[in-house]
């Protein structure tokens, strides 16, 4: 299955495709909490009105009878929905992803150039004349 990945170009292309998910080019965005089920499956934490920050281990939460339920680092978390000020969600950062891909492209060009010169392509080779 990965036989084509033995070539440097194929490996580099695979690395470019997987790099954003491997390196975590993510950013956490905070938004005011609106009491409702919309978007709760993607939240990764909350900030309470008192300023306490509670990250969730697994993304997502649910609201039942004006109480938010989620899984935190110490187990199940239940909070009254009127005590929640902000919710957090993680999204892919376009700036970080573009920077990573540009850096990988530069590294790929350097590696391809070094490989080309290392495989017998020499500017000072005078044996041809």
In tens, the pLDDT along 36-55 reads 665 677 788 899 999 999 88
Sign of CA dihedral 25, 31, 36, 38: negative
Confidence (pLDDT) at 38? 58
**What is the DSSP-derived secondary structure letter of residue 4?**
G
Give the pLDDT band (50/70/90) at residue 4. very low
pTM above 0.85, yes or no: no
For residues 1 and 13, the model is more confident at 13
In the CATH scheme, what architecture does the domain 26-92 have? Roll (2.30)
What's the pLDDT tens digit per position in 76-126?
888 998 899 988 887 777 777 777 778 877 887 887 777 777 665 555 555
Q: What order do you get walking across the sheet with 26-32 strand by strand?
A: 26-32, 84-92, 43-48, 53-55
Question: Would you kindly state where each structural domain of the chain is located, as residue ranges?
Answer: 1-25+93-117, 26-92
């Amino acid at each position: 299955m990965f036989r084509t990945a033995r070539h440097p170009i194929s490996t580099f292309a695979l690395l470019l495709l997987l790099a954003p998910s491997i390196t975590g080019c993510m950013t956490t965005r905070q938004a005011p909490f609106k009491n409702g089920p919309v978007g709760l499956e993607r939240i990764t934490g909350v900030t309470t009105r008192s300023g306490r920050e509670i990250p969730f281990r697994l993304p997502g939460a649910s609201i039942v009878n004006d109480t938010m339920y989620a899984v935190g680092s110490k187990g199940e978390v239940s909070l009254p929905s009127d005590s929640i000020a902000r919710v957090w969600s993680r999204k892919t950062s376009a700036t970080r992803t573009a920077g990573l891909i540009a850096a990988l492209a530069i590294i790929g060009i350097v590696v391809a150039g070094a490989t080309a010169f290392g495989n017998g392509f020499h500017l000072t080779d005078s044996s041809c004349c």
